[in-house]
Amino acid sequence: MKTELDITADLALLELTGDERVRLEAEVSRLLDYFATMDSIDVTGLEPTTHALREGNRLRPDKPAAELASADDAPSAESLADDILEQAPDLEDRFIAIPNVL
């Protein structure tokens, strides 16, 4: 009868020698004991953690420049678009034309 270790080794296309099998059985047993210890800990009321260090976002807020500046001196979205279009080398209507790549 095959053990779970043998089945897993077969699925991973591993050929284990006798010594490797004994060592791996001991290591897997230690892992399972550790998981059992972790499972016995009461975590009721704890929020899930996605990262060990809780730091805020170090990037700027994801908002248009008009919303970050004061309302008096902020350019409108339309004027920003016009400024960008003025710098384009080639336009078709209000679209930036680029060369075909294929």
pLDDT single digits (tens) 68-83? 555 556 667 788 888 8
Question: For residues 94 and 85, is the Cβ–Cβ distance under 8 A?
Answer: yes
Please give the pLDDT value at position 52.
Answer: 73
82, part of any domain: no
Please give the pLDDT value at position 47.
Answer: 82
Domain total of the chain = 1
Please give the pLDDT value at position 99.
Answer: 85
- Average pLDDT per consecutive 10 residues, the chain (102 residues; last block may be shorter): 83 92 91 93 85 69 62 71 88 87 78
Which residue range(s) make up the domain with 10?
4-39
CB neighbours of 26 closer than 8 A, spacing ≥ 6?
none
91, part of any domain: no
CB neighbours of 57 closer than 8 A, spacing ≥ 6?
none
**Residue 71 to residues 25, 42, 67, 74: CA-CA distances in angstroms?**
67, 51, 8, 5
Task: Copy the structure tokens of residue 72.
Answer: 């008096």
32, part of any domain: yes
Please give the pLDDT value at position 79.
Answer: 84
61, part of any domain: no
8, part of any domain: yes
10, part of any domain: yes
